[in-house]
Structure 1
Amino acid sequence: IVHLAGAYQVFAQPIFARLESYVACRWPDAKIINATYYVRVPGRPSSSVPVAPLKLVLRTVIIMFTTLVAMLLPFFNAVLGLIGALGFWPLSVYFPVSMHIARLKIRRGEGRWCWLQAMSFVCLVISLAASIGSVQDIVHNLKTATPFKTVD
């Protein structure tokens, strides 16, 4: 679970930015929305931290909402597994291998090209198997799901 915190921060930034710009454009004259206040840090009189009420409140509400959704989905790990399985091959294998082949100008049919394509194909098969397993897990959990129930 700990490793997901960093991923959540990275993937949530565009959502935060979009909602914050929407709210700021919707109410451009609202001082509380567009203001930034500076809070002094105890023990360091010369330093202060900028605090934007809009960011503080909006980001907190978004995190609370996503936490609620995660709690409502008792099969949240299966959904994360499906997302990971779908994203693994194209992002971690196919695009890097394709860029490597293009950058080094490896010609089609060469030994290195064949090995890279074979590795990419094996990873694709693994991703497909993981996707099928995740879908099966989601279907199984949907039959026995109870919101807000923890596994004993």
Structure 2
Amino acid sequence: MTRNEEVVREAYRLAEGDVLDGEGFRALFAEHGTFNDVPNGLTFRADQIPAALTGLASAFPDIHRELLAVHVIGDVVAVELRIQGTHLGGFPTPVGEIGPTGHRIDVPAADLWYLREGKVETFNCYNAANVWLAQLGATPDFESAIEAAKTAAARA
């Protein structure tokens, strides 16, 4: 196992609900390293990184990431995984919080970790946000989207 793979595997261990060490997770990052939640357009830096972990764990205290495949290509580590947990706390959305449902999630994801000299410079998390929300019972409002598109087309 390469040093880069060891760093990434340690990051996943520290992010587990039964471990949850946000400061230890943050220590794996370079000084100006970033954690990007790509589907939601969020970027976390410095002290925001541990807060992102604890925020997610507050909604899913038993959060677990099942690593399906880990590929190391020099300073890049690509991981296919499933994010799993039980929705026992509030889950924030742009229009308010989804209260605890008790639903289990099992969300496919892929992560790309870019490292330099044993430190994470960039961590890009690509989770299937649509699957995640559907498993919480939050389905998209396609009817409103169709109406908005019709209105926009009529104005054009």
State the TM-score, normalizing by the size of structure 1.
Answer: 0.24
Flag the structure with higher helix content: 1
- Give 1 or 2 for the bigger CA radius of gyration: 1
From the two aligned structures, give the one with the greater strand fraction.
2
